[in-house]
Structure 1
Amino acid sequence: MDVIPLSNFERQQAILTLLKRQQRVKIAQICEEFGVSEATARRDLEALASQGLIQRIHGGAIPLHPAAPEPPLLERSQEQAEEKARIGRLAASLVQDGETVFLGSGTTVLEVARHLGDRKGLTIITNSLPVINLFAGKENIQVVCLGGILRDSELSFIGHITENALSEVRADKVFVGVRAVDLEHGLTNDYLPETMTDRAILKAGREIIVVADHMKCCRVSTAFLAPLTAVHTFITTLEADQSFISALQELGIRVLLA
């Protein structure tokens, strides 16, 4: 017996059900599941996106929900811990002896710091209290601490004092973490008062390296930080969506997978 094709509405509702179950759907999967052309699949996604029901990403869609607010630093330290360790190891391998490196706040950047212990002659610039504590007393490493207002949940310094200090320093490499990375909306974080400090950090070095586990890809948070054109290197993990990675590479961003 022939299968009765679904109406546009029925098919779009089925796509929503699919998204709820697996959190991501690709155009190729829609074509295979429902026996439709790529053009029809794209129209379905565009229709759902225009109703505010999904978020379009390169090659497919994800559910329409922003990145959740970040829990405190210590609470986050166990989230995606294995991925963050892989990212930290790979990111640290980019640092050469004698370089000046900026290390931002957050658990992923802290993993980068933990893998720099064998480098010699480094100058570490940071607004992160855990990074300061990690390198305090280490031989052959000079630590430049940026003062400011201590953000208790993140254990980082922010505000105009921090920003003024950032205007006085330059790093060979800047390592920063973000709450969310999206092709359309760029880099976003979830704490508006920190935005100006984050932007000042991106002006403090020659190479901007963003480190983020795959859960932060194709997500949007509250505070716009910078467009993707501000990023030179993006380090994430093999679990990241390949179409998203390919789109970053097409923008000229070097992508490294841990």
Structure 2
Amino acid sequence: MLPPTTESLIARVTTGRRAERLVAILDLVTEHGTIGLTELSDTLGISAATARRDLSDLADQNLLLRTHGGASALERRRELPVVLRDTRFQEAKRAIARAMLRRLPSERHVVALGGGTTTASVARALANHRDITVVTNSLTIANLLSGYAGVRLAMTGGFLRPESLELVGALAESTFNAVNVGTAILGADGVSASAGVTTHDETEARTNRAMVAKAQRTVVVADGSKIGTVALAQIADAAEMELLITDSSADPAELERLRTAGVQIVIADEE
């Protein structure tokens, strides 16, 4: 069972439109620092009652501070839950997923899929693969793959991170250590030549490092907003990436630095 706060948010975000609105509210609060209920309603074209409900749900997730008549940004906002992150850069993520699928063998193959919204797009693209084994620590990805006839699914154990819906820690690492993987497919919060592949959580990074260690090759799938960004904890350095699949919004200068470091680059929406 999911932790109560995560379960509550997932239950209430019943449409993609509402998820996009919640992300827009967070962006507005971050931009202004403090925003009033009337300004929020007028900017987004929603009723005051809808704005109040949205602010209350976001405050319950510790993503903003509810105030009398509005909301304020937290000094240090919590990581955006995966249910909300999935609304961003959807076209780019679908193009990246298609490009990843073209680079997987059509015959029997073992893939390790880390958590994240871009890797979830890759999981959806596997629907028509005839014979693939996927090892994952992501509840989201396991749920997506559970109905695919050509996919054999293996899940790790571990402790649940409610923000990403991933299983992490020693139990998850021991599963990755026990299997041989053809391709590890990683999402990321940041990708750069200097820091490599990074994420917000150190325990999640350590679990993903175990995945990379047993893979014959490592592919990173990340939309352009992640390129040049450095997050807290390193999953892999640039030398461990064989391939980065991104989109045309990525910083060209950073992509060139990654090429110089030996990383092959695919711009998915230009293929």
- What's the TM-score once normalised by structure 1's chain length? 0.71
Q: Is the 8 A contact 1:69 1:190 kept in 2?
A: no
Match of 1:208 in 2: 218
2:179 to 169, 183, 193: 169
Distance in 1, Cα, partners of 2:200 & 2:78: 6
- Cα distance in 2, alignment partners of residues 104 and 241 from structure 1: 24
SS in 2 for 1:105: coil
CA RMSD of aligned residues (A): 1.4
Q: Tell me which residue corresponds to 1:106.
A: 116
User: Residue 117 in 1 paired to residue 118 in 2?
Assistant: no
Q: Which has the higher helix share?
A: 2
Instruction: For 2:251 and 2:189, locate their aligned partners in 1 and report how far apart those are by CA, in whole Å.
Output: 17
Q: Distance in 2 between matches of 1:235 and 1:69?
A: 27
Question: Which amino acid in structure 1 is aligned with residue 228 of structure 2?
Answer: C
> How far did residue 70 of structure 1 move?
3.5
Deviations 1:87-126 (A, max 9, x none): 1111121112311111110000000111111111111111
Matched, 1:96 2:108: no
Equivalent residue runs for 1:147-162 within 5 Å: 147-162=157-172
Structure (1 or 2) with the larger CA radius of gyration: 1
Q: Specify the alignment match of 1:247 in structure 2.
A: 257
Tell me the amino acid that sits aligned with residue 236 of structure 2.
A
- In structure 2, the partner of 1:86 is 95
Please state whether the residue corresponding to 1:138 is helix, strand or coil: coil
Structure 1 stretches of at least 4 aligned residues deviating more than 4 Å after TM superposition: none
Q: Aligned-pair distance for 1:216? A: 0.7
Deviation, 1:243, is 2.0
CA distance in 1, matches of 2:124, 2:250: 23
Among 80, 84, 93, which residue is 1:75 paired with?
A: 84
Q: CA deviation at 1:225?
A: 2.4
- The match for 1:53 is none
In structure 1, C-alpha distance between the alignment counterparts of 2:138 and 2:100, rounded to whole Å: 17
Provide the rounded CA distance (Å) in 1 between the counterparts of 2:233 and 2:116.
Answer: 16
- TM-score, normalised to structure 2's length? 0.67
Q: CA deviation at 1:69?
A: 6.0
Structure 1, residues 207-248: CA drift from partner, whole Å, max 9, x if none? 100011111111111112221011000011011122222221
Cα deviation, residue 145, structure 1: 1.0
Instruction: Name the residue aligned to 1:16.
Output: none
Distance 2:230 2:249 in 1: 18
Q: Which residue of 2 aligns with 1:41?
A: none
Give the Cα separation in 2 of the matches to 1:124 and 1:234. 20
Q: Report if aligned partners of 1:101, 1:174 keep a CA contact under 8 Å in 2.
A: yes
Contact between 2:127 and 2:150, CA under 8 Å: does it hold in 1?
no
d(CA) in 1 for partners of 2:183 and 2:211?
Answer: 11
Which segments of 5 or more consecutive residues in structure 2 lack a partner in the other structure?
1-76
| 1:221 equivalent among 228, 231, 235 | 231
Aligned length, in residue pairs: 191
- Residue 133 of structure 2 corresponds to residue 126 of structure 1: no
Deviations 1:143-198 (A, max 9, x none): 11111111112111101000011110111111001111122222211112222112
Aligned match for 1:179, one of 178, 186, 189: 189
CA offset digits 1:55-114 (Å, max 9, x no partner)? xxxxxxxxxxxxx86300001000111111111111121112311111110000000111
Higher relative contact order (CA 8 A, sep 6+): 1
Amino acid paired to 1:191: D
Identity %: 29
